[in-house]
Amino acid sequence: MDELELNEQQLIRRDKAAELRGLGVDPYPARLPWQRTHTAAEAIAAYERGDLPEGQPITLVGRLLTLRLMGKAAFAHIEDGSGRIQIYVKRDVVGETFYNTVFKRLIDLGDFVALTGAMFTTRTGEITCQVTEMALISKTMNPLPDKWHGLKDTETRYRQRYVDLLANTEVRAVFRTRARIIAAIRRYLDGNGFLEVETPVLQPIYGGAAARPFTTFHNQLGQELFLRISFELYLKRLLVGGYERVYEIGRDFRNEGISFKHNPEFTQLEFYEAYTDYHSMMRRVEEMLVAIAREVAGGLAITYGGHEIDLTPPWRRITMRDAIRETTGIDYTNYPDVAALAEAMRAIGHQPEPRSSRGKLIDSLFSTHVEPALIQPTFIIDYPIEISPLAKKKAADPTTVERFEYFIGGLELGNAFSELNDPDDQRARFVALREVLADDDENIHPLDEDFLNALSYGLPPTGGFGTGIDRLTMLFTDRSSIREVILFPHLRSVTG
């Protein structure tokens, strides 16, 4: 550690560690001096139940968080994984040498301690452990953030999440909720006959979404590989293989801009169900979200961004055409060519990107004027075919596909289709897409011949669905940025 530049407080703590060693106290002992008998929460609950009579010794462990030193006695709070508990340390009880030298001078806020003592209630009514013996079990070399304000600096919170977590209990709660959401999803899908599977993260050909991939290289094979941008094409192969219901929860990687709702790697849930279509998928999504909400929100009413949201099914279903017509007055079916639609958009003050396809214009109209207002749960159904190459056409209208996205709190949360299972149509769509993309983008998607081959062996009529776990977590924890629900969000590396 030669080149470490230590500040005053770090130097003092190192001196204290050295002094402890001089006294024969290891600041990082290999094991606890006493076996822990209770967590903080268990000790308080047991005392409240009357299971811990006055004087019965217990052993607690935890991090020292606050200290109120009053001469020959002190109150403090320690915190373990279950919560906080107050402790009371009296010089007469723990001994003068320990109290004056170790406790008062050499143990700091932030240090981990073990202690034995008995429970009692203070004059002000707080359940407290009166310490008879205490030992340092791990020394902290940095001061903790402000005990009242916590750690606020956004950059430090993300770069040093461990400090954020230890200082801000509400941040720990967010990631507990995230885990409960994922557990609820698994429980729901497992309980409904879905098989959890794992498909390749490293793929020779990427597909299933319109995103730029990260590329990597297998040295021994001399092969370029892509980090997956979706699971879709692999999961549908599994339905060809005979599984009727499959799902995967895992990481997707997209080499694109970062925003409050985009992280380069994010967690996705996709599930596919044979012998259904997008209408059944809507009912499944409602049912699954209800299961999650009951689990993590205790009911179907949640608050997001100051809005009261009611998740009670059935949710509103409206076609993209009607949704756009309702808010902008533009019925895009009246403008079959790109130029006319762009002109109509300019007439309402919208400035369309010059070289957009018709599908992109419609999408842009939608995301600008409709999406932000979709606060209550809403299915937007029936999308333009140009922006939906993996969805089945509507029988009555070949310009439109059987697809929905669902929105809650103004957030786009997920996407689903009646899966396109005609191999020839699928090939035609891939080819058309390639031409569109090659036109305005260097990002040319390779044709996945093996996927087309799989379709040629027969994919049953299938409903498929994908949703972002990170955004779901934003919804259920009322966070406005995806970085608040990813433990270690991607940040630019610090160079200078």
Please, which of residues 430-449 interact with RNA by CB under 7 A? 433, 437, 441, 445
Q: Is 122 in the site for RNA (CB under 7 A)?
A: yes
Q: Is 386 in the site for RNA (CB under 7 A)?
A: yes
Which residues contact residue 2 at a Cβ distance below 8 angstroms, ignoring those fewer than 6 apart? none
Applying CB under 7 A, which of residues 26, 48, 54, 153 lies at the interface with RNA? 153
How many Å is the Cα radius of gyration of the chain?
29
Nearer to RNA, 169 or 312 (CB): 169
Q: Please state at what angle helix 423-440 crosses helix 449-456, rounded to 10 degrees.
A: 160
User: What is the SS3 assignment for 340?
Assistant: helix
Residue range at the interface with RNA (CB under 7 A); choices 17-25, 82-90, 276-284, 457-465: 82-90
Q: Is 493 in the site for RNA (CB under 7 A)?
A: yes
Judged on CB neighbours under 10 Å (0-12, 13-18, 19+), 278 is buried
Q: Work out whether strand 127-138 and strand 202-203 pair parallel, antiparallel, or are unpaired.
A: unpaired
Nearer to RNA, 188 or 335 (CB): 335
Q: Is 97 in the site for RNA (CB under 7 A)?
A: no
User: Rule CB under 7 A: which of 243-302 touch RNA?
Assistant: 254, 256-257, 259-260, 262
Q: Is 321 in the site for RNA (CB under 7 A)?
A: no
| Spatial CA neighbour of 196 closest among 252, 238, 251 | 238
Q: Is 4 in the site for RNA (CB under 7 A)?
A: no
User: Going residue by residue from 208 to 227, which x/- string records binding to RNA, judged by CB under 7 A?
Assistant: xxxx----------------
Q: Is 307 in the site for RNA (CB under 7 A)?
A: no
| Spatial CA neighbour of 117 closest among 74, 173, 165, 150 | 74
Applying CB under 7 A, which of residues 72, 176, 187, 307 lies at the interface with RNA? 72
Q: Confirm if 128 and 89 have CB atoms less than 8 A apart.
A: no
Which residues contact residue 356 at a Cβ distance below 8 angstroms, ignoring those fewer than 6 apart? 338, 342, 364
Shortest Cβ 183–RNA spacing (Å)? 27
Instruction: Please state, in angstroms and rounded to a whole number, the distance separating the CA atoms of residues 250 and 233.
Output: 15
Residue 254 tokens, joined? 């997209």
Q: Is 6 in the site for RNA (CB under 7 A)?
A: no
Applying CB under 7 A, which of residues 36, 39, 57, 75 lies at the interface with RNA? 75
Q: Is 67 in the site for RNA (CB under 7 A)?
A: yes
- Asked if omega into 27 is within 30° of 0 (cis), the reply is no
Nearer to RNA, 157 or 245 (CB): 157
Q: Is 2 in the site for RNA (CB under 7 A)?
A: no
Residue range at the interface with RNA (CB under 7 A); choices 86-94, 315-323, 338-346, 451-459: 86-94
Applying CB under 7 A, which of residues 2, 22, 55, 124 lies at the interface with RNA? 124
Residue 467: count other Cβ atoms within 10 Å of its Cβ.
23
Q: Is 54 in the site for RNA (CB under 7 A)?
A: no
Q: Is 360 in the site for RNA (CB under 7 A)?
A: yes
Q: Residue ranges of the alpha helices (H) in 304-397?
A: 320-328, 338-347, 358-365
